[in-house]
Amino acid sequence: MNNGKEHPGGLEYWKKIVILLCVGWVTIWIYRSALAPVYPQIRQSLGGSVSDTALGSISSFYFLGYVVMQIPAGFLVDKIGKKMVLIPGFVMFAIAAFIVARAGSIQMIYFGSLLAGLGCGSFYGSAYSLTAQNIPANKKSFSTAIVNSGSAVGSGFGMILSSFLVAQQGLPWQIMMYISVIMIAFIVVAFYAIIRSNKDDIASQEAYIENKSDYKKNISNEKVSFRTLLAPKMLFTYILYFATCYAYYMIVTWLPNFLATERGFKGTAIGFSSSLVAFALSQVHCFLVSWQISLWIIKFSLLLFWKFQPQQCY
C-alpha cells in the first residue's frame, strides 16, 4: 500500500485514485443503463421487427464479454500493471460504444455490446488492485464507499438521462452512446495522467516494504487456505452476493422497458422510477460516508419521483 504524495502540498495519490475509480464506475454504469429505457426506440430504428428477446440479448452479450474478461484482465494486471490494462481496455470500450451508435442491425449492436463488455472487464480487477494497494488502512472503508457509490450513481443518471433525452425530448437513442464515448475519452486521458506506470508502481511498493519491518509478518498472517474459501460462511456469502447482483442487474436491464411497454410510463418518469433502485443502493454507501447526505438523496429522489410520476404516467 502506498499513500504518498505526488507533490508536496498536492492531492495525495490515493485520493486521486478514489476519485478516478468512482468516475470510472459512473462512466461504465451510464453506458450499461442507457439502452434499457430506449428499447422501443431501438426497435423502431431497426425497422420494428426486432423481438423483445432480441432486445434483451443486448445486455446479455455485454455481460458475457464482461465475465469472460475478468480472469484474463486480472492475470494481465499482475504481469504488466494496471495502467497497461486499463487504457487499452477503455479504448476498446470507446470503440464499442461508437460501433453500437453506428450499428444498422441488431447483430452489430450485439457485436458492439460484446466488445464493450470485454473493454469494461479490464476495469474490475484493476480497480480493486488499485484500492487495495494505495488506500491507507484507516481510510479504506470510507474510500471504498465512495468508489462503489459510483456504480449506483452512474446507473441512476444513465437511466434518467436516457429517458429524458430520448423518450421525452425525442433525440436519437444513439446520443447516449456518443455521450459515453466522450466520457470514456476523458477517463482514458485521466488514466494516462494519474495512474503510475508499472515500473513506478513496483518501485513504490518496494520502498514501502523496506520501510515496514513487519510487512512480511502481516503478509503471512493474511494468507488464506483454499479450504477457508469453501467454508459454509464463505459459501453463503458467495450465494448472497450472486443473488444481490442478479436481482439488481435484472431490475436495471428489465424494469425501464417493462414500465414503458407494459405500464404506460412516459418520458422522464421511466428513468426516475427505475433509478430509485439505483439510488436506494447508493444509500448504503452514502450512509457510510454521511447519514445527512443519505437522507438528502432519499428526499430528493422521492421528490423527483412524485413530481414527474403523476404528469407522465397513465
- Arithmetic mean of pLDDT, 119-141: 86
Q: Distance between CA 139 and CA 61 in Å, rounded?
A: 37
Higher local confidence (pLDDT), 282 or 81: 81
User: By the 8 A CB rule, do 23 and 147 touch?
Assistant: no
Q: How confident is the model at residue 313 (pLDDT cuts 50, 70, 90)?
A: very low
Burial environment of residue 167 by CB neighbours within 10 A (0 to 12, 13 to 18, 19 or more): buried
- Tell me, what's the pLDDT at 288? 47
Q: Distance between CA 89 and CA 272 in Å, rounded?
A: 31
Grid cell 436519437 is found at: 172
Question: What is the phi-psi region of residue 227: left when phi exceeds 0, alpha when psi lies from -120 to 50, beta otherwise?
Answer: alpha
Q: Distance between CA 91 and CA 199 in Å, rounded?
A: 22
Mind listing the pLDDT tens digit for each residue in 172-183? 999 999 999 999
Q: Distance between CA 294 and CA 153 in Å, rounded?
A: 12
- Tell me, what's the pLDDT at 211? 54
- Tell me, what's the pLDDT at 9? 52
User: By the 8 A CB rule, do 100 and 112 touch?
Assistant: yes
- Tell me, what's the pLDDT at 310? 45
Higher local confidence (pLDDT), 4 or 227: 227
Mind listing the pLDDT tens digit for each residue in 228-281? 878 888 888 889 878 877 777 777 777 776 776 666 676 666 666 666 666 665
Q: How many CB atoms lie within 10 A of CB 85?
A: 27
- Tell me, what's the pLDDT at 302? 57
**All three cell numbers of 58:** 443486448
Complete domains list, the chain, with CATH: 13-197+225-312 (1.20.1250.20)
User: By the 8 A CB rule, do 67 and 122 touch?
Assistant: no
User: By the 8 A CB rule, do 85 and 76 touch?
Assistant: yes
User: By the 8 A CB rule, do 167 and 270 touch?
Assistant: yes
Long-range contacts of 279-285 (CB under 8 A, 24+ apart): 279/152, 279/153, 279/156, 281/152, 281/248, 282/149, 282/152, 282/153, 282/156, 285/145, 285/146, 285/148, 285/149, 285/152
Q: How confident is the model at residue 306 (pLDDT cuts 50, 70, 90)?
A: low
Q: How many CB atoms lie within 10 A of CB 232?
A: 7
| Close Cβ partners of 80 (under 8 Å, ≥ 6 residues apart) | 198
Q: 82-102 and 106-134 are packed helices; what angle lies between their axes, rounded to 10 degrees?
A: 160
